[in-house]
Amino acid sequence: MLTAKAARLARRELGRRLPRRGGVPWPWAILGGLFWLGIALWLGASLWRMPKGHLLSGPWGWCLLGGLGAGMVFFSLCPLRPLYVFGHELTHWLAAKATFHRTGAFRLGLSRGSVEIEGSSGLVALAPYVCPLYLLLLGGVLAFLSLLPLSFPPWLPLLGAVALGLCLAYHWVLTAMALLRGQKDLEVWGRALSATFILAGNLAVLLAALALASPRPALLWEIPWALLQQAARLLLAHLG
């Protein structure tokens, strides 16, 4: 017979599961999939509407593409998996803390890891497939440096663009490898809904990386909002 304390501990351990399986009810899965597919189409259209030649209008674009291409090749051959495992599980942990979930043991290995999260959610489970931790850290450093009233050598922004390309490539290559191996994280929302969410999130990451590397980031940030305003005007004209 379990004591009251042992029963509480048993319930606590049963609640520390990542991910929770079973997906979401199919009506919500369809609505959610359509929503994230719409976000993906909006972001894809924004990238398509980027001024032709803007990416290659200066050395920053070549540096970003060079880092991205070199990273895709290098990380495909040498994935640095322990570094990815650390970033993956840390992203789970940070997402859990940001959404007020209790966390437990944090375990890391050379090829896999785990973090105990009580009552996990789809956002927590899918966060590592959307949020490139190392790209976000680098982007934060570059954004902070750009605010300092200092003069930097002209090669430093170009080096930052190369590093952004490398971080983006690392996220994409290792995420693709993880998904190809099969991930139970996708079962929290179901694979179809999770796929649309991951697609939309990574298009947002690409747009953010381009804006960070660009000498005119405001130009890229304005495109999605201009598309929304245009769609709203067309909708109002149609309803009127």
Residues in the chain, overall count:
240
For residue 239, pLDDT beyond 90: no
Contact predicate 46/214, CB 8 Å: no
> Is 90 exceeded by the pLDDT of residue 194?
yes
Res 110: pLDDT = 80
pTM here? Answer: 0.82
- 119 three-class SS: coil
| Higher pLDDT among residues 223 and 20, named by residue | 223
Are the C-beta atoms of 191 and 96 separated by less than 8 Å?
no
| Residue range 70-107, pLDDT digits in tens | 999 999 999 999 999 999 999 999 999 999 989 888 88
Task: Quote the distance between the C-alpha of residue 8 and its chain's center.
Answer: 36
Of the listed ranges 14-18, 160-164, 216-220, the one predicted with least confidence? 14-18
| Average pLDDT of span 106-128 | 87
Q: What radius of gyration do the chain's Cα atoms show?
A: 21
Supply the mean pLDDT for the chain: 85
Residue pLDDT, tens place only, 131-143: 999 999 998 898 8
Q: For residue 173, how many other CB atoms are within 10 A of its CB?
A: 20
pLDDT tens digits, 4-30: 444 444 444 444 444 444 567 888 889
Which parts of the chain are beta strand (E)? Answer: 103-108, 113-117
**Distance between CA atoms of residues 130 and 140, nearest Å:** 17
- What are the two backbone dihedrals, phi and then psi, of residue 233, each rounded to the nearest 5 degrees? -65, -40
Beta-carbon contacts of residue 212 (< 8 Å; ≥ 6 apart): 139, 142, 143, 164
Q: What is the pLDDT of residue 8?
A: 47
Identify which of 80, 60, 64, 89 has the alpha carbon closest to the alpha carbon of residue 170.
80
